[in-house]
Structure 1
Amino acid sequence: MTARDAAQRDITLRSWAGLQVEAVQFKGIPPERLAPLPESLALQPHQPLDPLKVRDSLRRLYETGLYKTIVVEGLRHGDAVTIIFSGVPNLFIGRITVNGINNERLSGVLERSTRMNAGTVFNDAKFLQAQKLLQETLEENGFYQSKIFASTAVDSANSQVNIVFEIVQGKQARVGAVAVQGDSGMTIDSFRKKGKLKEDSKVSRDTVSNALSRLRKNYQKQNRLEASLKLDSHTYQPPVNHLDYGFSADRGPLVVVLVEGASLSKGKIRNLVPVYEEGAVDEDLLNEGDRRIRDYYQRAGYFNVKVTHDEQLKDKQHSIITFTVSLGMKHEVASVTVNGNKYFGTDTILPRLSVVKSSIVNRHGMYSQALAQADVNAITALYQSNGFSNVKVTPEVKDADVNTKGKKTKDAQLSVNYTIDEGAQQRIGAYVINGASKVQLSDLTPLLNTQSGQPYSSLNITQDRDSILTFYLSHGFDNAQINLLQRPSPKDPNLIDVTMNVTEGDQFFVNRVLISGLHYTRPSTVEDRVLIHPGDPLNQTALLETQRKLYDLTLFNQVNTAVQNPLGDELRKNVLLQFTEARRWDISYGFGFQAQTGNPQSNCANLTPQQLIQLGINPSTYTCSPNGKTGVSPAVLFNISRINIRGTDKSVSLNTTLGTLEQRILMSFSNPHFLDKPKLNLILTGGYTNAQDVTTYASSRLEGTIRLTDRVNKPNTLIYSFGYRRVKVDPNSVQVAPDEIPLVSEPVRVGGPGITWIRDTRVPTPLDATSGTFTTVIENWADSHFASQADFNRIDGTNSSYYKFGKLNTWVVARNTRIAAEHSYGGSDYNLVPLPERLYAGGAQSHRGFGINAAGPRDSLTGFPIGGTGAFINNTELRMPNPMLPYVGNSLGFVLFEDMGNVFEYARDIWPSFTRFRQPNRDGCRNLNEQEQSVPHPGSPISAAGLCSFNYFSHAVGIGLRYHTPVGPIRLDFSYNLNPPIYPVIIDYSSTPTNPIPAHVGEAGHFNFFFSIGQAF
């Protein structure tokens, strides 16, 4: 339509003013997409025609964002007129797909490089720009020969355009010629070598940045900190598919950084002076070096230290930077006090301060000007958040070289005092919400954390505003705005009246939910996790939660959520859910280790020197101790998994472990939403394990288990299981009396049901809890009715609790108690339980007074642990607040712990042993008569009872270090067993024909250490 036609129609409509509007029609956009907008337009049927209303309605239609252009037409029928809004609809960007790229990372980079956002308006300019950006990104990654074939598919029903970019990568470009301008100090060959710009190597997006980084580091190693280096040009040579580079390099002078007046190592200078980090020298960096050196020495006790710098250029090739340090007298922080505080107690303020008084763990304390200013800011923020807007904090530092008795001290004494002028406290006066017409005030007021009469805090008021705004956004009011008006009350200047003015805007709803990108995944798998549906308010919070739930399926690399036509005022909007499915097959591998005392030893046997030499063992240093050895237990992990089975979140995995203590292959099938119930998780497992987690034997286990996990609620979980396992002890690994080996190594089939209850209320994280409890109760049955060859019952309960205390609840007492018992249905309660099924304790997550699984009864002839049918272990830890230390800050914490308990021959021996601090009948343990120590258990030939008793509570004390990291604390524990057991060693597998070892009395070690990740419990 020409401008002349438009003007003519405008004149016609004005000339029809006052005629009755018979109908208002809309073309180009389906009526259901426009609804309910037509009913709210200014122009309505059965009213006189008003050109102003036509103009207003036209503006409102454009504001929806649905139209590209609109033409207003009119049809006259006598004294009536029909108005037609005829428009060309906008199309919106739908799914963007990049095909032809095998590298997932590059594919994602290319998709993002198009700068085409799903849901926004599509036009040809964006489309052409996207192709240009794709080509640039491909060339940045070395694909200069690539070709892009772009196509679009219009989805008229949903007003969107799906875009596909088919890419033919071509061969990746190679590094060609390299030219260097300037005084680089290197030959071209050396420049290439240092920058790893080897001729004919592949070009990637990181080729230049990595080369520049390596070359800068090379200059830095030479102390040429003022070197300049940049890329001038890169030229593509199509015939040979090479990329030629041109660099400018000036090595600059040799920079020597000296520190006078104090002794600092070269490494420490590099850490403190930022010119090494930045690879440049300027005044700002040198001033930063002054500050860092000053803070370093202030933390070391030189609180009056002064630092200056000077730069001298001797010649074009040599520059000297000198930091002059005047240390002054060494200090220690004798006291940190506050006065003038009335509203807050001193106990509330002091723990928030960064200036720290000297103590045992921090000899000089912590003081610097920066820390003192940080304390002023912290105290000010504390008061201002409680209504003291005019608070003033003044630090006062006193320096003295005599103590309170007037005696001269070795180090000067620093006293730091913060004087607080609180001022008047301001409180909330009237608190009013205005403008809420579409939402009930009764729905908004519970969201407020601040009430009239409470201390005034601008931070709390801002949080209230954010809470109200979040409520509106979660109910579809995308254009809601909230303005705060805060002013003193006319009744009292210390009362602040707060008015929250709400501009609600229109409420938006969901029109349709458009799902795309599902190839292998069933739509029903994702639809169950979608929390927004047609007709619902457009809830941004629910949209984010939907995205989280979909990611939790672990089926997708990317879940992109978008609102179609985000800038338009369309009242019913489409929501886009776009998926990029993850690879269904995944292979992972890794390596790990655990360092500790009491590592189980394998292949202990009565070997000749020749046999030891064949095994690579030095006969003169060979030992085989019942207490194991100190060392590292490495393990290699290799896993294969297959997800998205039959289009669901079911998966199959194969997990393998190869280590010195364990070799395992395990296959499992997982259905995390069994029977479509989100709280039910079904797992089927089967596999083979060969492990030596106790010094006495190595056992193999062939097992199959079905496990159903029921997440009853957030803290409580129930696990129902049923399993079969064939347990076998390697006869060549059994460290018991030789005549007992055939009995304890006989294969046993164990089968039956089990149930586990777990209750977990630990906070803030399970790996580093400070409060809450963790309880597990495991009940397992092995019964001949289920084809089990052994009939026994095992119950194993553990309870951990955590208690915070102290002024700021920074001290934690943690306790863990384990009680376990086994009972066989016939014969002896002890002997009918297979050796690998017995109870064991000891190690990093158990009683730290023993090596791994080394607590409890031992074989009366060899001294190796043989487990029991009762166990009681109690761990108590005092976890201290992390002190502020040099170098590591507050990342390092300390723990004092006491572990007590043991493994017992019979469960009934636990409680009588509670008060026994020493091992009973130690004389019997010193008896080395083989015949007397070979007395069998009553009614069982499995193992000898001997004369040695282990029915007592062993106690260990220790100290632990905890270095906190984002994945949990790194743990190092040192323990001392106060009363380790002794035992007879009549048969010693370290004995050789040339070096026989006589019978002797063994003793478990007093000292143990353990290294691992995570708290002990």
Structure 2
Amino acid sequence: MPFRHFIIFFLFFLLGTTNGFAQNDLIIRKITFSGNDSLSRESLLKQMNTKPPSFSKKISFWNKRMRFSSFTFEEDILKLKKYYLKSGFLKSVISYHLKPTSNGKKLDIAIKIKEGSAVLTGKVLLNIPKNGNGQPYLDSLKKLVQLKTKHRFRDEDVIATEKMIYDNFSSKGYPYIRVITDITLSPDKLSANVTYSILPGHKSYVGAMKLEGDSLISRSYINKKIKLKQNEIFTQTQLERTQEKLFDLGLFQYVTIRASMDSVENNRIPIHIQVKELPRWSLRTGLGYGTEDRLRVSLLLKRLNFLGGGRSLTFKGQHSHFIPLNIETKFIQPQLWSKNMDFILNPFFSRELEESYEVDRWGTSLTLQKVFSKKKSAYISYTYGQDKVNLKEASLSINTDQIAELNNTKSGVTLGYNSRATNKLFSPSTGWKFGTMATYMGLGFKSQFHYYKFILELAGFYPLGKEVVLAGKMKVGTIEPTQGDSQTPIEDRFLLGGALSLRGWGRHQISPINEGGNKVGGNSMLENSLELRFPLFGIFSGVTFMDMGNVWSDPWEFDPRSFNYDAGLGLRVKTPVGPVRLDFATPILGEKFNLQFFITIGHAF
């Protein structure tokens, strides 16, 4: 008897005992399982629509709790039986006990399972017609089979092995492969034999390629980016990678690659590539508000395929309260010297306002950026520029004998690396992010300051339950003068506090101070944050968090005994461009209560 028919038979024959239903509409308080030695509680709950309240549901008392429905619960019991059958347990018995609480408003559900003996996998056979295509691959294929003799028989292993066979042959140029799976069940012996009959079809190759579409970008440039070669082995994976690479050039509105599977000649499959170019000129403007930036205004003008060859030119202008003017131009030359190696020329000017000083920065940077994948990149950048620093009157005690050096020329190089292994870009629930940057200033051109600066940042995300995430961040940095210099430039030192660091203080309020009581920045910093993120309802989610850290005057000075601490609560509103963030925080552990409020876009990390 085929195994799937046997499952249907047992669903109606092996119904577990019940002991009556409690009154409908009681609030479900908890669900417990016993006897489930082989299958986890979490996997069993995934099969059910009747659910116990999650952690986030328990703390969000304003949300409606799930109420018991006898009809839904009957369906759940059948689903559990079917799940056990698929997992190799033909004679499992499921019973339950429904117990209302003493006040008669809530319900506890206890589910008892007698798993019985499991069906074991017997023989696993892979058959390819003799002298047929693919025969040489048979031995290597057998090593990849996920079904193991004398192991518990599971439907998902049968399906996974079938998919493995398809994928393995498709990657070797057999897109027309067929697999016929036959399962022979022996209920008395509690064993199942599985036979896969593999019909690979003919080995196929890439045929003639035709490029079509609405694009002024030269055909020769596009053809250079197409990695498919005529007469090479045909694989769907190669088509998908080529489509992704063309789209990642940032020049096209869409890219489609289609294989004409019904027009094969001499085992050659014709390929049709169609592209539609993005507008050459684009203009984006932005207007927003945040408690730190206050009114934000931005403008981005972009020219694609500037001077041909996929090059681009952008002009960006921004205004906010603390950075009243930021102007930069970027010229990007893609694919310089090697694959995914971009050259970036970036002239810039900015005016920045801090509590103790103002600084005008202008200059240019030359960057080589290597993109290893969508989640990993590295760069090396040379920067030449001049900083004009104006101390506010109350800050003149900073070092009056060296005020002339406040207006300075800088020349230096920066190395950076960024990597992430998160499941989402805006609101990750699992994985980690890592970034580091090392700068050395003082490379000729009358550079007046000589120092190195190092920053490292690491963030991790760990799921605790459905949509409940524990997130943590550590950031450390130091800056140290070299070549006999006595100090570092005030405009490049560290300041903490605000929406992106210690949220119990205002923007850049954590800093060493000079004799006049002015915040002059420090040469070492360390900060840590811990957040518990949980859903509320709809597009709203909540956060409770704690931050700690400090800024110290000397390089490499990290003293946990002098940490500042804060704690707070936050609200997140999901939007297409990332969450809108509202945070309330106050200093704790010996500090006076001083509530800070921040509203901005994006998580703190």
TM-score range, shorter chain: 0.7 to 0.9
CA distance, structure 2, for counterparts of residue 859 and residue 552 of structure 1: 50
Structure-to-structure mapping, 1:776-787, within 5 angstroms? 776-783=435-442, 785-787=444-446
Q: Is the 8 A contact 1:303 1:367 kept in 2?
A: no
Q: Secondary structure at the match of 1:453?
A: coil
Task: List per-residue Cα deviations over 1:184-219 (Å, max 9, x = no partner).
Answer: xxxxxxxxxxxxxxxxxxxxxxxxxxxxxxxxxxxx
Q: Residue 384 of structure 2: which of 724, 747, 753 is its match? A: 724
Question: Could you tell me how far 1:772 is from its partner in structure 2?
Answer: 4.8
Question: Could you tell me how far 1:779 is from its partner in structure 2?
Answer: 2.3
Task: List per-residue Cα deviations over 1:680-716 (Å, max 9, x = no partner).
Answer: 2211101211233x33344322121111123467876
Question: Could you tell me how far 1:339 is from its partner in structure 2?
Answer: 3.1
Q: Residue 535 of structure 1: which of 231, 245, 254 is its match? A: 231
Task: List per-residue Cα deviations over 1:635-692 (Å, max 9, x = no partner).
Answer: 12211111113432221111111233322221001123111x1242211101211233
Change (3 A) 1:644 1:502: same
Q: Is the 8 A contact 1:841 1:903 kept in 2?
A: yes
Matched residue type, 1:640: L
Task: List per-residue Cα deviations over 1:728-780 (Å, max 9, x = no partner).
Answer: 2456xx36347879986986233222232325243223544455544433222
Work out whether 1:465 is the aligned partner of 2:162. yes
Change (3 A) 1:744 1:500: farther
CA distance, structure 2, for counterparts of residue 458 and residue 469 of structure 1: 17
Work out whether 1:707 is the aligned partner of 2:367. yes
CA distance, structure 1, for counterparts of residue 478 and residue 425 of structure 2: 23
Between Structure 1 and Structure 2, which shows a larger proportion of strand residues?
2
* Relative contact order higher in (CA < 8 Å, ≥ 6 apart): 2
Matched residue type, 1:865: K
* Unpaired stretches in structure 2, ≥5 consecutive residues: 1-21
Q: Is the 8 A contact 1:847 1:873 kept in 2?
A: no
Q: Residue 839 of structure 1: which of 488, 494, 499 is its match? A: 494
Change (3 A) 1:351 1:656: same
Q: Is the 8 A contact 2:311 2:331 kept in 1?
A: yes
Question: Could you tell me how far 1:871 is from its partner in structure 2?
Answer: 2.5
Structure-to-structure mapping, 1:160-199, within 5 angstroms? none
Q: Secondary structure at the match of 2:258?
A: strand
Could you say which residue in structure 1 is the equivalent of 2:554?
906
Change (3 A) 1:747 1:799: closer
Q: Secondary structure at the match of 1:527?
A: helix
Q: Residue 895 of structure 1: which of 535, 544, 556 is its match? A: 544
Q: Is the 8 A contact 1:429 1:489 kept in 2?
A: no
Task: List per-residue Cα deviations over 1:555-614 (Å, max 9, x = no partner).
Answer: 12232323347255652233222332222221122223323xxx4xxxxxxxxxxxxxxx
Structure-to-structure mapping, 1:666-677, within 5 angstroms? 666-675=328-337, 677=338
Could you say which residue in structure 1 is the equivalent of 2:460?
802
Q: Is the 8 A contact 1:758 1:774 kept in 2?
A: no
Q: Is the 8 A contact 1:791 1:826 kept in 2?
A: no
- TM-score of the pair, normalised by structure 2: 0.82
Q: Is the 8 A contact 1:680 1:709 kept in 2?
A: yes
**Percent pairwise identity:** 21
Q: Residue 818 of structure 1: which of 476, 481, 487 is its match? A: 476
Matched residue type, 1:473: S
Change (3 A) 1:791 1:362: closer
CA distance, structure 2, for counterparts of residue 701 and residue 963 of structure 1: 35
Matched residue type, 1:802: G
Q: Secondary structure at the match of 2:52?
A: coil
Q: Secondary structure at the match of 1:656?
A: strand
Work out whether 1:976 is the aligned partner of 2:586. yes
Change (3 A) 1:643 1:304: same
Question: Could you tell me how far 1:511 is from its partner in structure 2?
Answer: 2.8
Question: Could you tell me how far 1:633 is from its partner in structure 2?
Answer: 1.7
Q: Secondary structure at the match of 2:549?
A: strand
Could you say which residue in structure 1 is the equivalent of 2:595?
1007
Question: Could you tell me how far 1:800 is from its partner in structure 2?
Answer: 1.5
Work out whether 1:337 is the aligned partner of 2:37. no
Q: Secondary structure at the match of 1:454?
A: coil
Could you say which residue in structure 1 is the equivalent of 2:346?
685
CA distance, structure 2, for counterparts of residue 527 and residue 784 of structure 1: 42
Change (3 A) 1:816 1:681: same
Change (3 A) 1:717 1:962: same
Change (3 A) 1:815 1:837: closer
Structure-to-structure mapping, 1:261-660, within 5 angstroms? 304-305=24-25, 332-344=27-39, 346=41, 349=44, 355-357=51-53, 361=59, 363=61, 365-369=65-69, 372=73, 376=77, 379-380=80-81, 383-388=84-89, 391=92, 393=94, 396-400=97-101, 402=102, 409=103, 412-435=105-128, 437-439=132-134, 440-489=137-186, 493-517=189-213, 520-564=216-260, 566-568=262-264, 570-595=266-291, 599=292, 633-660=294-321
| Greater C-alpha Rg | 1
Q: Is the 8 A contact 2:380 2:416 kept in 1?
A: no
Matched residue type, 2:494: L
- TM-score of the pair, normalised by structure 1: 0.51
CA distance, structure 2, for counterparts of residue 635 and residue 980 of structure 1: 36
CA distance, structure 1, for counterparts of residue 38 and residue 575 of structure 2: 37
Q: Secondary structure at the match of 1:470?
A: helix
Q: Secondary structure at the match of 1:383?
A: helix
Matched residue type, 2:251: L
Question: Could you tell me how far 1:821 is from its partner in structure 2?
Answer: 2.2
Deviating more after overlay: 768-777 vs 423-432: 768-777
Could you say which residue in structure 2 is the equivalent of 1:314?
none
CA distance, structure 2, for counterparts of residue 751 and residue 483 of structure 1: 70
Q: Secondary structure at the match of 1:786?
A: coil
Between Structure 1 and Structure 2, which shows a larger proportion of helix residues?
1
CA distance, structure 2, for counterparts of residue 516 and residue 754 of structure 1: 44
Change (3 A) 1:799 1:640: closer
CA distance, structure 2, for counterparts of residue 448 and residue 963 of structure 1: 46
